[in-house]
Structure 1
Amino acid sequence: MMDTQTLRSGHRAAPSPSLTAEDLLTSAEELVPLLRERAAEVDRERRISDDTFRRLGDAGFFHVLKPKKYGGLELSEHEHARIAMTLARGCASTAWVFSILSSDNMAILAYPEEVQDEIWGENTYATLAGNTNLNPKAITKRVPGGYRLTGSWGFCSGSDFSEWLIFNAPVGEDGQGHMFLVPHAEAESTDDWFPTGMRGTGSRTMSVTDVFVPDHRVQATKDTVRKLKERRSLHPTFSTMYATWPSNGRFPFASCAVGAAWGAAEHFASSVGGSTRVANALGGAVRLAEQDYVATEFGQAQGDIEMARLLIEKRSLEASERARRHVESTEQDVARELRDNSLVTRTALRAVQQIFSLVGARAGRSEHPVSLAKRDIEMVSHHVTLNWRQNAVRYLASISS
């Protein structure tokens, strides 16, 4: 097994350019049993294993949203969402690491070709983690050729493995946000990720102290969309460069929640035949599979999860088709995607809570698959992009104006 440092520095051949979307989905399906075996360990250790990360790379998952020039497969948001949902059936944290690091390839593509070459020229597997929320307390100092950067950023998912980090810090008298790209080796990690769910995402705090960042690796945050459009000419066959940024069309967070609920439902369905619960306080036992309330509650939960899956597949396909046709998303498109991201997450949370209640006291064990899924989905549901009320209000405004 390779250690994390070797994973970061190792230069191996890019995945076969002949890999298709179906090939990758098959690989994701084949990984699910192994991820299920390792899920409890991931929860305890608060990170996915080096071997698991290596397998994600070998399958080509980190090349889904990457241009062909750097060994990428130039696939779409639709494939990204489906892969994330599938991986989350086995382990939501693993799916999250894939989703974050794969999605962040698009942030790299907003930078000049010089930066893209610097990151992927020698290591086509290189990934980017970090935090794109502005830290107003960060300090930037203008120096010849670039900036000196000091600051800390929490929630850096995937930073256990990434070679590069992205940070949003204020620049100038007006404190306008700028995105800084920094080699992982120049940052320090604080082991402060102790949540109740999604414990294996490695979303720790990363900090830098007086690190020099050259001008070509610094861009105003407000210019990201414009810069992505300018870079399209560098990769004319990569249609996903016409997607929105940041993109909700690939359901980067919601797909992990729905996939985790899907996995919980599969576990319950496979085990309910031999499951019992204590009949009452005096003892006895009842078979779960023979209880009408179990059938009705589980039927509702499983059906809701299926609807959530189908909605993700439909919306992500629509977003991918717009990008393929080079059609810009409208405000209504974006608002609808935000609404549906939060909607399917709410649905997944409600469904896994129903399943959890059916399992009984056994689900109280931290390593129980349904317990893991429930805690993971609860954590996902608190992500800033999945605020149901906020997204519902924006959607209503988009269709009523």
Structure 2
Amino acid sequence: MNKPAVVAKAGSQSASASEFDYKSAVRSILPRLAASTNESDKMRRLADDAANALRESGLTRTITPKQFGGYELSPSVHIRACAEIGNVCSAASWVLMVCVAHDYIIGRFPEECQREVYEGDADNLVAGSLAPAGVLEAVEGGWRLTGRWMFGSGCDHSPWFIVGARLTNPKPDEYMNYHVMVPLKDLVIEDTWFTLGMRGSGSKDLVVTNAFIPSHRAMPTYPTFLGISPHAKAPTYRLSVYSGLPAMLSGSVLGMAEAGLKAFIEATAVRSTPHGVAKAKNLIMQKRVAESAAEIAQARRLLEDMCDRFDKLIEADQAPMSAEDRIQMRWDSAYVVELCRRAIDRLYVVSGAHGLYEGNPVYRAYRDIMTACHHAVIDFDTVSGLMGQFTLTGDLGENPRERHRLTPADYPLNAG
């Protein structure tokens, strides 16, 4: 499917940022998302009604620039919304998480690019893949882009895509990595998404062959992701993508874990052994559910703390974020996901033979979380290594070839 589903406009979309109530928006669509979960899973992409529900709710414009009809809110709103939706539909939570995270990046692109993406429909779901798997070649007026990207979550519903690429032969004064906006007409979706979990996310391959990219649709990755793009006109876009994306992802995973814990408790309450002994009275079951519940509760506290920190950083509006803030928030995000992974793994082991079936909600939470935790930005071993490195040496391990190119002009708050 290479054509985004058509969506009817809803009145909530015209609300101002100050009037937008994300909690009400989430509650209004939970029944539709829950009803579409099995369909998304079977189709291996987000069901059309689920995608429409997300757009109609206004949640897709949470971080979209105000200039183009968005709310331009703190990442904390998006993170909490994704966690709540993850309680009923992992696919919808994941697709919303990824696409709004891309809005978080597009707000740092030139106004001309933002207008192309959002004008006429601020509720666009922008899919993509941030890995620098493409090749950019400089040509008159812009670039030529070729590449194949995996993991294009939500791609079946997207008219625009953001992808990562590298310059073929960067000059000494050029950045090596870029992120690029590509319209659907210049891209082919290949159905490669056959996986253990997160099936409903439809994270298929994206292929671009020798497409022309106007210069205003490409931005150097390092300063853009660090939050010091000269086009970042609001505090939200001056936060670090390296911290924001992992936090958003951890919100979705937490919602899945909370759903899995609830399903396990409900199932165990009515299970019994072949001899008629209630499973809920078994000490092993009690210990496992106690430990898993504690881990998920701690994950929720960490997530809420990150949300509060995002709000404080926006209020302070001092770009770029400090190295301490960036690594701490990435570490906390990875630890939230690891706590959820441990918790659901511990419960699934004692779910019994019924836990083997596709429709079992504990099994669904298990396979979705096990799949989600493989995402590079929250890989526990990688991030724990970075946190340990920073703690011991003060070095974040950033690519010096990119970092050394920063100049005072890269800082919009300080530039003359």
TM-score by length of 1: 0.89
> Is 1:255 equivalent to 2:223 in the alignment?
no
Aligned residue-pair number = 387
Percent identity reads: 25
How far the C-alpha of 1:64 sits from its partner, in A, is 0.9
How far the C-alpha of 1:4 sits from its partner, in A, is 5.1
Change (3 A) 1:354 1:37: farther
Alignment of 1:207-218 (within 5 A): 207-218=207-218
> Is 1:271 equivalent to 2:267 in the alignment?
yes
8 Å contact kept, 1:14–1:71: no
- Equivalent residue number for residue 146 of structure 2: 150
Amino acid of the structure 1 residue aligned with 2:266: S
How far the C-alpha of 1:324 sits from its partner, in A, is 2.0
- C-alpha distance after superposition, 1:274-304 (max 9, x if no partner): 22243xxxxx333222323222221221121
- C-alpha distance after superposition, 1:240-292 (max 9, x if no partner): 123112333771222222110100112223333322243xxxxx333222323
- Equivalent residue number for residue 42 of structure 2: 44
8 Å contact kept, 1:11–1:122: no
Amino acid of the structure 2 residue aligned with 1:188: V
Amino acid of the structure 1 residue aligned with 2:314: A
Alignment of 1:312-323 (within 5 A): 312-323=303-314
- Equivalent residue number for residue 75 of structure 1: 73
Alignment of 1:14-53 (within 5 A): 15-18=13-16, 23-53=21-51
Which segment drifts farther, 247-256 or 321-330? 247-256
- C-alpha distance after superposition, 1:308-361 (max 9, x if no partner): 011101112112211222134211111111211111111111111222233211
8 Å contact kept, 1:77–1:317: no
How far the C-alpha of 1:78 sits from its partner, in A, is 1.3
> Is 1:382 equivalent to 2:378 in the alignment?
no
Q: For residues 239 and 179 of structure 1, what CA distance do their matches in structure 2 show?
A: 20
Partner SS, residue 347 of structure 1: helix
Q: For residues 219 and 109 of structure 1, what CA distance do their matches in structure 2 show?
A: 11
- Equivalent residue number for residue 410 of structure 2: none
> Is 1:332 equivalent to 2:324 in the alignment?
yes
Q: Equivalent of 1:300, from 291, 299, 304?
A: 291
Amino acid of the structure 2 residue aligned with 1:240: T
8 Å contact kept, 2:25–2:59: no
8 Å contact kept, 2:330–2:378: yes
Q: For residues 298 and 390 of structure 2, what CA distance do their matches in structure 1 show?
A: 24
Change (3 A) 1:249 1:109: closer
Change (3 A) 1:14 1:215: farther
How far the C-alpha of 1:41 sits from its partner, in A, is 2.8
Amino acid of the structure 2 residue aligned with 1:25: K
RMSD across aligned C-alpha pairs, in angstroms?
2.5
Q: For residues 14 and 214 of structure 1, what CA distance do their matches in structure 2 show?
A: 34
Q: For residues 14 and 216 of structure 1, what CA distance do their matches in structure 2 show?
A: 31
Q: Equivalent of 1:288, from 279, 283, 291?
A: 279
Structure 2: unaligned runs, 5 residues or longer = 395-416
Alignment of 1:358-369 (within 5 A): 358-369=350-361
- Equivalent residue number for residue 6 of structure 2: 7
How far the C-alpha of 1:76 sits from its partner, in A, is 1.1
How far the C-alpha of 1:155 sits from its partner, in A, is 1.0
Q: For residues 372 and 286 of structure 1, what CA distance do their matches in structure 2 show?
A: 27
> Is 1:199 equivalent to 2:220 in the alignment?
no
Q: For residues 48 and 257 of structure 1, what CA distance do their matches in structure 2 show?
A: 17
Partner SS, residue 149 of structure 1: strand
- Equivalent residue number for residue 281 of structure 1: none
- Equivalent residue number for residue 394 of structure 1: 386
Amino acid of the structure 2 residue aligned with 1:357: V
Q: For residues 21 and 321 of structure 1, what CA distance do their matches in structure 2 show?
A: 21
**Structure 1 residue runs of 4+, over 6 Å off?**
10-14
Amino acid of the structure 1 residue aligned with 2:354: R
- C-alpha distance after superposition, 1:77-115 (max 9, x if no partner): 211111111111112121110001011012212211111
TM-score by length of 2: 0.86
- Equivalent residue number for residue 106 of structure 1: 104
How far the C-alpha of 1:66 sits from its partner, in A, is 1.6
- C-alpha distance after superposition, 1:18-73 (max 9, x if no partner): 46688312332454444344323322211111111111111111111122211112
Q: For residues 267 and 131 of structure 2, what CA distance do their matches in structure 1 show?
A: 42
Change (3 A) 1:362 1:22: farther
Q: For residues 389 and 343 of structure 1, what CA distance do their matches in structure 2 show?
A: 10
Change (3 A) 1:22 1:144: closer
8 Å contact kept, 1:301–1:351: yes
- Equivalent residue number for residue 411 of structure 2: none
8 Å contact kept, 1:342–1:386: yes
Q: For residues 32 and 288 of structure 2, what CA distance do their matches in structure 1 show?
A: 29
Structure 1: unaligned runs, 5 residues or longer = 279-283
Alignment of 1:220-259 (within 5 A): 220-225=220-225, 228-233=228-233, 238-248=234-244, 251-259=247-255
Partner SS, residue 205 of structure 1: strand
Amino acid of the structure 1 residue aligned with 2:139: V
- C-alpha distance after superposition, 1:158-215 (max 9, x if no partner): 2111111122223242492222211012211110011101111111111112222112
Partner SS, residue 243 of structure 2: coil
- Equivalent residue number for residue 349 of structure 1: 341
Q: For residues 295 and 222 of structure 1, what CA distance do their matches in structure 2 show?
A: 48
Q: For residues 275 and 34 of structure 1, what CA distance do their matches in structure 2 show?
A: 29
Amino acid of the structure 2 residue aligned with 1:340: D
Partner SS, residue 358 of structure 1: coil
